[in-house]
A and B are shown apart, each in its own frame.
Chain A
Amino acid sequence: MSAAESTVDGAQDGQGSTRGQAIRRLVQGDLSSVRVVLGLVVIAIIFQVQEDRFLSAENLTNLMLQITTIGLISVGIVYVLLLGEIDLSVGAVSGLSAAVMAVLSVNHGWNAYLAIAAAVAVGAAIGFLQGSLFSRFVVPSFVVTLAGLLAWEGALLQVLGKTGSLNINDPKITGLANTFYSDTVGWIFAVVIIAAYGAVLAMGYRKRVAAGLGDGGPLPLIIRFVFLSALVIAAVAILNSDRGVPLAVMILLGFVVGMEYVAKRTTFGRHVFAVGGNAEAARRAGIRVNAVRVAVFTISGSMAAIGGVMAASRLFAVNQNSGGNELLLLAIAGPVIAGTSLFGGRGSVWTALLGALVIGSISNGMDLLSLSSAVKLMVTGGVLLLAVLVDAVARQQRQTSGRV
């Protein structure tokens, strides 16, 4: 009897302390992103001290343009990482898809949008194939996509043919990375984003209150709203004082927000997290684990293709180096630096954007300082290692304190 009473009391205690829980959750849940933002501030200060062009509107605009490709590819990588898998083929797939687009557009005179659609279809098909091989034959994704890396790089050379390079002249394609909106349009974007965010927060809160779950009060939401509004206004003001808000930034933001919505708010996204957390539990819960895996690799291939299209648009060309160099590794390092776990089940699509910002800032700043790529690579490697170590330590602490 006394046991029953004490558990009932415990239940009431539990409900009484939900406010404290909410605050702790806010702090713990956002801890890794807060850490990354602090890291970005430190990076900005270091480079700004040495080279005062770093925080100029022109350079910040350039930075945003530079990170679009990595950011878009990382969006797909986040999904793969959430599964606890890896996709090493994204660099090669981005190059191959861009080459397909260039050949169709330049050599065959295809409509720009059809050529882009074909490129994305190629990326999606490759992802589907790799995902199917991985899940059907239970081959490690590492190996399947490593084979893909080699094969698709060969395919890139094949598609480009003897010249080894194609210049893109269709303005609809080159416009993707080279369009800037007027100041007015930029401010309209800002208002729409802020209003939409406010509406989503308000509706969510009202629904929770209506269901009797309104814990912690609206204060955390108001803080988040004010913070995001200030960020959006500052970003638009800076971009407007240079060439304006770039279309490329809006594309990247659109994919990040859209794919974050899919990951966190839809049944499919929930299943991705479940498979990444405990595939056997997901299977027993009736989730079609292999279908989820194939879908995730298809997303990864598609996002790689979209990133490749943006890269081609920015460079006005596709060549044998497209999608090569350290693009693949940086696209994987970004989300990991920003807090997406390599072991599956933990992370968010925002880390694609944050990670790309960290890596992009370092690379951009060192370019401004005219450092050699030897130094750049070593520093980037060091930052990745540091980020993973900090994350591991934080996770250990959270686990030891989380267990009551």
Chain B
Amino acid sequence: MAANGTPLLELEGISKRFGPVQALDRVDFTVSAGEVVGLVGDNGAGKSTLVKAIAGINPPDEGTVRFEGKEVRIHKPQDATELGIATVYQDLALCDNLDVVNNLFLGREERAAGAGQVTRQLDEVKMEHETADLLSNLAVTIPSLRSEVGTLSGGQRQQVAVARSLLGDPKVVMLDEPTAALGVPQTKQVLELIRRLRERNLGVVVISHNLADVFAICDRVFVLRLGKAAGEFKAEDTTEEHVIGAITGLAENRENNEADREKNERKPEEEEEGA
């Protein structure tokens, strides 16, 4: 179950700035094959920015990225896809009016052979067959592959989105808040699915606010705070309290707080002078 061998994806000294905001500050991050890494942190800690940097949506300003030991540049989403990095965003990007099969193959439809090539006819049977295979491999339960995705439950939609990301045969899958807004049984289904991704020897990155979920599935927990790495824990060696401490910054020594307080005490005087 645990991570093995050299990391699949290695980030070193990644920084990203949006105007005056330092969204990421020299972050090092790794994912190995067959490992689930939880990426946690408060709002604005830089979780999404880090994922977007890896996915090629917001390329980092500084830092190096290595994939399977080789240094790579990810400037646009296609670069990430070609390397084998798939991302499932929180909004899932599904077409509610299309059925499960059509959503899975959206943008990479199987085409019919023979005369149908002229009109770029779809090979529905092949797509449905492959969908059935993939979903049963993942033990995903959908009432009918031909039901519109809009009629599915939140958990089923999430599973469809994850299954879709696997069609390109990726090596790393990043999931943004996969269990947000899901009920308990649905969350369970999605966590099961994530475990099966690990069994397939994929590297999995999970952004989550829900520490219970993180501890349920992750091998390693990576904490970001104000754009900086604020701690890295093996899930089995740590407790939620430790992680929460890192997220909120309470674990950092209290000197910082003291310094802050001194600053705050001095500030009003300066402001008065300014006025």
When A266-B119, A345-B97, A403-B151 are in contact, do A282 and B146 touch as well, CB less than 8 Å? no
When A7-B139, A17-B143 are in contact, do A277 and B96 touch as well, CB less than 8 Å? yes
Check B144 against A274 for contact (C-beta < 8 Å): no
B177 CB–A CB distance under 8 Å: no
When A3-B188, A11-B141, A14-B142 are in contact, do A267 and B95 touch as well, CB less than 8 Å? no
When A277-B98, A285-B93 are in contact, do A270 and B192 touch as well, CB less than 8 Å? no
Contact-residue size bin, chain B (C-beta under 8 Å from the other chain): 35 or more
When A267-B122, A270-B102, A281-B106 are in contact, do A399 and B192 touch as well, CB less than 8 Å? no
Shortest distance from the beta carbon of B1 to any chain A beta carbon, whole Å = 15
Check A7 against B192 for contact (C-beta < 8 Å): yes
Give the segment of A85-93, A107-115, A117-125, A204-212 that binds chain B: A204-212
Check A14 against B144 for contact (C-beta < 8 Å): yes
Chain A residues in 8 Å Cβ range of B132: 213
Check A25 against B128 for contact (C-beta < 8 Å): no
When A14-B143, A18-B144, A404-B143 are in contact, do A4 and B93 touch as well, CB less than 8 Å? no
Check A285 against B106 for contact (C-beta < 8 Å): yes
Shortest distance from the beta carbon of A308 to any chain B beta carbon, whole Å = 26
Chain B residues in 8 Å Cβ range of A187: none
The residue in chain B whose Cβ has the minimal distance to the Cβ of A262 is: B119
B108 CB–A CB distance under 8 Å: yes
Contact of A282 among B106, B135, B151, B189 (CB under 8 A): B106
A25-B145 Cα distance, complex, nearest whole Å: 11
Among B98, B106, B111, B125, chain A packs the most CB atoms within 10 A around the CB of B106
The B-contacting residues of A in range 273-291, CB under 8 angstroms, are 273-274, 276-278, 280-282, 284-287
Check A21 against B144 for contact (C-beta < 8 Å): yes
The residue in chain B whose Cβ has the minimal distance to the Cβ of A267 is: B120
Check B106 against A267 for contact (C-beta < 8 Å): no
A35 CB–B CB distance under 8 Å: no
The residue in chain B whose Cβ has the minimal distance to the Cβ of A82 is: B97
A14-B86 Cα distance, complex, nearest whole Å: 28
A57-B164 Cα distance, complex, nearest whole Å: 54
A8 CB–B CB distance under 8 Å: yes
Check A286 against B146 for contact (C-beta < 8 Å): no
When A213-B132, A278-B96, A399-B150 are in contact, do A285 and B107 touch as well, CB less than 8 Å? yes
When A10-B141, A277-B97 are in contact, do A213 and B106 touch as well, CB less than 8 Å? no
Chain A residues in 8 Å Cβ range of B124: 265
A378-B106 Cα distance, complex, nearest whole Å: 43
Identify the B interface with A (CB < 8 A).
Answer: 77, 91-98, 102, 106-109, 111, 119-122, 124-126, 128-129, 132, 135-136, 139-144, 146-148, 150-153, 188-189, 192
Identify the A interface with B (CB < 8 A).
Answer: 3-4, 7-8, 10-11, 13-14, 17-18, 21, 25, 207-208, 211-213, 261-262, 265-268, 270, 273-274, 276-278, 280-282, 284-287, 344-346, 398-399, 402-404
- Could you name 17 residue pairs across A and B whose Cβ atoms are closer than 8 Å? A4-B192, A7-B192, A11-B135, A14-B142, A21-B144, A21-B146, A213-B132, A267-B121, A267-B122, A270-B106, A280-B91, A281-B92, A284-B77, A285-B106, A344-B97, A398-B151, A402-B151
